[in-house]
Chains A and B, each alone.
Chain A
């Protein structure tokens, strides 16, 4: 008889009117890598939070390795042999690896004995699974891949036999992803059970043995990975047929719209965030910037949008120098037809406290459309937003609803509608599909290609390589603030881009 590591049956959980989990069965065979996928709000996080003791289910039972358990706190989960690796690492930057791993398992008021034990365990884990770390390294000096390894070690030191990883590849380069997968396969071969929560279908196909799909709080299917394919999984997630590939004809680019020359941005510590970057974008082409987040793409985007002042370098729009250093640069650039979908809509693109209609005019509130003289015309603001909501299928299409009450995907559509529907000359797009459902991704990608075909110049920044490869006419790769290479999407692959993203320049290509 097969042993089930996790056996969650009939899990039911409501938050007020929201039925987050509805009679969910989630069964994972011991010694396998199991994927859990679903759109935002499908109930994956709720299910995993229940398994890890953050929430208590309204109904249902949990058996771990065949034994019924009651998990009321994360302590209970740890005792049951469950370890969780969060998407956002929970480490103390100024501590060493050992100190971080010990945290919460010091073994008494004096740390010396606990430290010896932890060091022994770390050595043992390194020997068993190839999880090498230097125990005395300070965490803030480690790379992202190593940080993740420390998180995994934290769980293993506590004798976790089941590991849950929440979006483990979000911040990794393709090479680091490969490394992580090798590590997970080895852990599995040594008898651990692994659950990966993700929205990346390709990774599900690459690393899992079985996969469960959730939609709207329900478990809609569990299958062997070998017996399925990305299209089938995507259709299952969304509940209808979705196009995973973007339909796109070759671009006949026009004249140069944006030209950036020797752009350098130093941060307050004098570190170059953007380091001597030069490139052009022509009318009717999408230039994608690939790179692991934090390598200068955000700063580049903000400089071109007029939000951040460059230290040196020039930017010209249709041959005309753009940046004047004026206080209201962002507003001036909008006047010239620069449209900007910011990377982080919550931080920058919207005001969550505002009505949707008010968020839908952010940055354009001075336009005569919205009122005469000093006064704003509410009816015009609301009807303008209504039109945008209809054009972009925002749900619910209610302009007077508070922005915060829309789902992430619909908030993003409000931002996109605001910037797309305003006849851009140059369109700056940061992470257009972050936290957006597959169905909406398809829609957003089609709109972007349509704008390109209408002759707009588009700069696309995304950490999703698939998105960059699918949409771009040219790809620039950034690492450490520099452009480490330029590629045509049909003459490159993930490995090639991955090397550039890691800063390995032309020689290796």
Chain B
């Protein structure tokens, strides 16, 4: 009976604890900033005004957020079935290939058909890439953590090969395909705003933000309101009970990896279909790995994931501003701050949780 009996309130485990963890991460990061001779308060101010203080900053923040929602959900769905999908990076790269294959080969189609098809192509390619590790885990017992990591490297190699040998733009030295036609672009939010007579600053945030939010809502529905979601959670919480209930853990493993791969693959709709408008190499830039941190911090819940993705969006955009404004703080420092957030929100989560939990229980007991 070392753990307090009973459940802790939601505001505590989903609100107070993550908030305090982020505060703690910022405090330690502040010490690091102090150590290199900069002013931490000023740094925090620049970080937040840079990320949220202007339409421009907010646009970029939301653009990063979109990417992290996709990759965060990709990790979380597998998490619910008890699996750790480390392969978001590779699945997203393949998503890019899926977009490019559709757009470059079917550009005779009208945009109203082409763009949705490209989104489906991203999802399908990501899912196909995740299927192999999923199947190997389900029916051959190869650990999905190991195989998805390996598949990230394979995806980088495959994309390099495709861009160099198969899909390369003939008139360029760069590793990229030829640009997409104008009809095959997801509209930016500033473009959409014009339709409503509004004028906002031009930033890369685009319609895929809405797609990401729909995916988050869809995942909530799937996990907590469908029979399949019930089976996924049963497998994740107690595989023996799942077998007892006639649910095949192997089948569920394959299904969650397919869904996870599709979600990671759709990250390419933001980056490739929304911004780059051509397939380039290494466009994921570590977003697949940030997704792991986002999923952990968001505790696998879609709402938590959207909030955690927003936090990481702020850190990315604000961090870029910070590196620009205070030269002593380099990009690497931003990575340190992100690392501290991951450390406190993910790895050290229980440090605060249990101690504070006991305090709350004692307070309640003395009230009673």
A, B assembled together: yes
Query: Does any Cβ of B come within 8 Å of A328's Cβ?
Result: yes
Closest to A306 in B: B246
Query: Does any Cβ of A come within 8 Å of B218's Cβ?
Result: no
Whether B4 and A16, one on each chain, are in contact in the complex, defined by CB atoms closer than 8 angstroms, is: yes
A314 CB, min distance to chain B CBs, angstroms: 21
Residues of A within 8 A of B229 (CB): 376
Chain B window 230-273, contacts with chain A (Cβ cutoff 8 Å), 1 for yes, 0 for no = 11011001101101111110010000000000000000000000
Query: Does any Cβ of A come within 8 Å of B226's Cβ?
Result: yes
Among B246, B247, B251, which residue has its beta carbon within 8 angstroms of that of A332?
B246
Query: Does any Cβ of A come within 8 Å of B361's Cβ?
Result: yes
Whether A365 and B5, one on each chain, are in contact in the complex, defined by CB atoms closer than 8 angstroms, is: no
Query: How many angstroms between the C-alpha atoms of A331 and B245 in the bound complex?
Result: 6
Between B233, B234, B241, B248, the greatest number of chain A beta carbons within 10 A of the residue's beta carbon is seen for B241
Residues of B within 8 A of A15 (CB): 1, 5
A471 CB, min distance to chain B CBs, angstroms: 23
Query: How many angstroms between the C-alpha atoms of A16 and B362 in the bound complex?
Result: 8
Query: How many angstroms between the C-alpha atoms of A170 and B246 in the bound complex?
Result: 31
Query: How many angstroms between the C-alpha atoms of A305 and B241 in the bound complex?
Result: 13
Residues of B within 8 A of A333 (CB): 246
Given the interface contacts A17-B368, A348-B240, does A363 sit within 8 Å of B4 by beta carbon? no
Chain B window 353-368, contacts with chain A (Cβ cutoff 8 Å), 1 for yes, 0 for no = 0000000010001001
Query: Does any Cβ of B come within 8 Å of A25's Cβ?
Result: no
Residues of B within 8 A of A328 (CB): 246-248
Residues of B within 8 A of A330 (CB): 243-246
Whether B230 and A376, one on each chain, are in contact in the complex, defined by CB atoms closer than 8 angstroms, is: yes
Given the interface contacts A351-B237, A354-B233, A376-B227, does A17 sit within 8 Å of B244 by beta carbon? no
Query: Does any Cβ of A come within 8 Å of B6's Cβ?
Result: yes
Whether B365 and A16, one on each chain, are in contact in the complex, defined by CB atoms closer than 8 angstroms, is: yes
Residues of B within 8 A of A17 (CB): 5, 365, 368
- In chain A, positions 329-354 with a C-beta closer than 8 Å to chain B are 329-334, 340, 342, 347-354
The number of residues on chain B lying at the interface, defined by a beta carbon within 8 Å of a beta carbon of chain A, is 28
Query: Does any Cβ of B come within 8 Å of A491's Cβ?
Result: no
- In chain A, positions 85-120 with a C-beta closer than 8 Å to chain B are none
A199 CB, min distance to chain B CBs, angstroms: 20
Query: How many angstroms between the C-alpha atoms of A370 and B225 in the bound complex?
Result: 11
B1 CB, min distance to chain A CBs, angstroms: 5
Query: Does any Cβ of B come within 8 Å of A508's Cβ?
Result: no
Query: Does any Cβ of A come within 8 Å of B106's Cβ?
Result: no
Query: Does any Cβ of A come within 8 Å of B181's Cβ?
Result: no
A81 CB, min distance to chain B CBs, angstroms: 27
Given the interface contacts A348-B240, A353-B237, does A363 sit within 8 Å of B245 by beta carbon? yes
Residues of A within 8 A of B245 (CB): 330-331, 362-363, 365
Whether A354 and B231, one on each chain, are in contact in the complex, defined by CB atoms closer than 8 angstroms, is: no
Query: Does any Cβ of A come within 8 Å of B228's Cβ?
Result: yes
Given the interface contacts A18-B5, A306-B246, A402-B7, does A366 sit within 8 Å of B241 by beta carbon? no
Instruction: Say which size band chain A's interface belongs to.
Output: 35 or more
Residues of B within 8 A of A351 (CB): 233-234, 237-238, 241
Query: Does any Cβ of B come within 8 Å of A53's Cβ?
Result: no
Whether B238 and A366, one on each chain, are in contact in the complex, defined by CB atoms closer than 8 angstroms, is: no
Given the interface contacts A351-B238, A352-B238, A405-B7, does A307 sit within 8 Å of B243 by beta carbon? yes
Say whether chain B's binding surface is mostly helix, strand, loop, or mixed: helix
B243 CB, min distance to chain A CBs, angstroms: 6
Query: Does any Cβ of B come within 8 Å of A422's Cβ?
Result: no
Query: Does any Cβ of B come within 8 Å of A327's Cβ?
Result: yes
Closest to A347 in B: B240
Residues of B within 8 A of A334 (CB): 246
B352 CB, min distance to chain A CBs, angstroms: 19
Whether A363 and B227, one on each chain, are in contact in the complex, defined by CB atoms closer than 8 angstroms, is: no
Closest to B358 in A: A16
Among B226, B228, B233, B241, which residue has its beta carbon within 8 angstroms of that of A348?
B241
Whether A349 and B233, one on each chain, are in contact in the complex, defined by CB atoms closer than 8 angstroms, is: no
A412 CB, min distance to chain B CBs, angstroms: 15
Residues of A within 8 A of B230 (CB): 358, 365, 376
Query: How many angstroms between the C-alpha atoms of A330 and B241 in the bound complex?
Result: 11
Query: Does any Cβ of B come within 8 Å of A374's Cβ?
Result: yes
Query: Does any Cβ of B come within 8 Å of A378's Cβ?
Result: yes
Chain B window 183-222, contacts with chain A (Cβ cutoff 8 Å), 1 for yes, 0 for no = 0000000000000000000000000000000000000000
Residues of B within 8 A of A370 (CB): 227
Query: How many angstroms between the C-alpha atoms of A320 and B63 in the bound complex?
Result: 61
Residues of B within 8 A of A363 (CB): 244-246
B204 CB, min distance to chain A CBs, angstroms: 36
Residues of A within 8 A of B365 (CB): 16-17
Residues of A within 8 A of B237 (CB): 351-354
Residues of B within 8 A of A353 (CB): 237-238
Closest to B246 in A: A331
Residues of B within 8 A of A366 (CB): 227
Given the interface contacts A15-B5, A306-B246, A363-B246, does A374 sit within 8 Å of B228 by beta carbon? yes
B219 CB, min distance to chain A CBs, angstroms: 14
Query: Does any Cβ of B come within 8 Å of A371's Cβ?
Result: yes
Closest to A366 in B: B227
Chain A window 302-336, contacts with chain B (Cβ cutoff 8 Å), 1 for yes, 0 for no = 00011100000000000000000001111111100
Query: How many angstroms between the C-alpha atoms of A506 and B6 in the bound complex?
Result: 53
- In chain A, positions 352-397 with a C-beta closer than 8 Å to chain B are 352-354, 358, 362-363, 365-366, 370-371, 374-376, 378
Residues of A within 8 A of B7 (CB): 402, 405
Query: How many angstroms between the C-alpha atoms of A225 and B164 in the bound complex?
Result: 89
Other than the given A374-B227, A405-B6, 9 more pairs (CB < 8 A) read A16-B4, A328-B247, A342-B244, A350-B241, A351-B233, A351-B241, A363-B246, A375-B226, A376-B225
23 CB contacts below 8 A, A to B, read A307-B243, A328-B248, A342-B244, A347-B238, A347-B240, A348-B240, A350-B238, A351-B233, A351-B234, A351-B237, A351-B241, A353-B237, A362-B241, A363-B244, A365-B227, A365-B231, A374-B228, A375-B225, A375-B227, A376-B225, A376-B226, A376-B229, A405-B5
Task: List the 6 closest A-B pairs by CB distance, nearest first.
Answer: A331-B246, A330-B246, A363-B245, A353-B237, A348-B244, A15-B1
